[in-house]
């Protein structure tokens, strides 16, 4: 397995890295797999190329189609996270409507990249597959075990747990406009694999393993047709060690524009940190001051790179029993029950959204709403808006 190469190797990549099997669609599951949505994360591109090459060489029977796509080709060519805007923060309905409606030439490079991706998505989504799965391959500037990220929908769970790595929930409640959340809101299966540190050869190996396992979970390949299936599972399981199976994000430290941020060295993903522990320094122009953890938790995605406005995240373990209870409640169709809780009411202008008065609904409100499939969307003064996660019917 070759390591992620230098940026100049990625300068002439096509948007579509490959399609298997070639020819007209024949039903089954469409697996869209992306690499390089951030240009300093090339491992996913190399993994997609490796798997597509292996599929073409072996030509196994395949139920559905896998399409390998490049995310931010221009940023990949320069080895930068992005050139003007973070491509993984732009997938909001408002921006997509504006892009589709605009007749003016596009100015910023990420708009060009996004429109090219939209064209590729539209082409393949229009072909009438029975199910769509998005696998978005990422890596982190910090070291540590690989992990998956999903919106907590019932259709996402089996695919997330098909990978023997920790599952991270709640990212869409902390940052807006991710490709993952957009696909999940469309009702498709959507998951991200953070494969490891950006430049490690093992990160490519983790991505390769995850893609083979997802192709098997999607029913595109039988397990007997996946080369080294047991080795792929073992590679991911060994890398995860004894980490919690599920972690939910509880906090995001956002970096304000114009702020110098520096993470203290040596932190890794899932490292336990104590409340009050100094994790980083920020400088608003008046000298550096420490940033302390507001709670005891697991540290996730500490920023050791120059671009990006996410300083770090904090998460806590979710016991499996709560996920089982959540699944039972959602399948029973009880999501509307929460509107009868104190301080909770439907938005009269948006019937599918809830407004929660935090002066009344104080204790465990978010946790209860999560059980029934609602997610935090925005704070509006003393009111918090929740929207329903879209579970498959």
DSSP-derived pairing of the beta strands 29-35 and 189-197: unpaired
Q: Is the peptide bond before 21 cis (omega within 30 degrees of 0)?
A: yes
Contact in structure between 170 and 178 (CB atoms under 8 Å): no
Task: Give the span between the Cα atoms of 169 and 147, in whole angstroms.
Answer: 11
Q: Which residue has better confidence, 6 or 109?
A: 109
Tens-place pLDDT, residues 142-191 = 999 999 999 999 999 999 999 999 999 999 889 999 999 999 989 899 99
Question: What CATH fold (topology level) applies to the domain 7-243?
Answer: Aminopeptidase (3.40.630)
Tens-place pLDDT, residues 53-99 = 999 999 999 999 999 999 999 999 999 999 999 999 999 999 999 88
Least confident interval from 37-41, 76-80, 86-90, 363-367: 363-367
| CA-wise closest residue to 93 among 118, 73, 130, 68 | 118
pLDDT at 5: 38
Where in the chain are the domains? 7-243, 254-304, 329-388
Sequence-ordered list of residues with C-beta below 8 angstroms from that of 353, at least 6 positions apart, any chain: 346, 347, 377, 385, 386, 387, 388
> 116: which DSSP letter?
H
Tens-place pLDDT, residues 253-309 = 999 988 999 999 999 999 999 999 999 999 988 889 999 999 999 999 999 999 999
pTM assigned to the model: 0.92
């Amino acid at each position: 397995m070759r390591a992620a190469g230098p940026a100049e190797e990625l300068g002439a990549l096509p948007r579509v890295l490959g399609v298997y099997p070639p020819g007209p669609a024949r039903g089954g599951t469409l697996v869209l797999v992306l690499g390089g949505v951030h240009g300093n994360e090339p491992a996913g591109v190399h993994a997609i190329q490796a798997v597509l090459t292996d599929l073409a060489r072996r030509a196994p029977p395949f139920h559905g189609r896998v399409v390998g796509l490049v995310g931010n080709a221009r940023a990949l060519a320069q080895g930068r996270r992005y050139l003007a805007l973070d491509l993984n923060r732009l997938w909001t309905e408002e921006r997509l409507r504006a892009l589709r409606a605009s007749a003016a030439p596009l100015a910023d490079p990420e708009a060009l990249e996004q429109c090219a991706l939209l064209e590729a998505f539209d082409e393949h989504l229009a072909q009438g597959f029975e199910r769509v799965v998005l696998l978005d391959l990422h890596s982190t500037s910090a070291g540590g075990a690989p992990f998956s990220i999903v919106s907590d929908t019932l259709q996402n769970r089996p695919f997330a747990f098909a990978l023997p790595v920790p599952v991270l929930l709640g990212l869409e409640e902390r940052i807006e406009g991710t490709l993952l959340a957009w696909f999940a809101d469309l009702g498709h299966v959507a998951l991200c694999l953070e494969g490891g540190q950006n430049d490690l050869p093992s990160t490519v190996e983790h991505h390769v393993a995850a893609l083979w396992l997802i192709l098997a979970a999607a029913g595109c390949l039988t397990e007997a047709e996946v080369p080294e299936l047991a080795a792929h599972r073992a590679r991911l399981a060994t890398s995860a060690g004894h980490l919690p199976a599920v972690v939910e994000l509880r906090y995001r430290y956002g970096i304000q524009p114009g702020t110098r941020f520096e993470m203290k060295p040596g932190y890794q993903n899932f490292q336990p940190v104590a409340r009050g522990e100094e994790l980083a320094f920020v400088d608003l122009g008046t000298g550096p001051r420490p940033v302390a953890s507001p709670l005891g938790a697991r540290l996730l995605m500490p920023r050791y790179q120059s671009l990006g406005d996410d300083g770090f995240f904090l998460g806590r373990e979710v016991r499996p029993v709560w996920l089982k209870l959540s699944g039972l409640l959602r399948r029973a169709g009880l999501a509307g029950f929460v509107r009868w809780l104190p301080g909770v009411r439907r938005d009269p202008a948006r019937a599918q959204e809830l407004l929660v008065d935090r002066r009344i609904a104080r204790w465990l409100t978010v946790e209860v709403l999560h059980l029934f499939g609602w997610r935090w969307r925005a704070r509006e003064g003393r009111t918090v808006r929740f929207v329903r996660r879209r579970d498959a019917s």
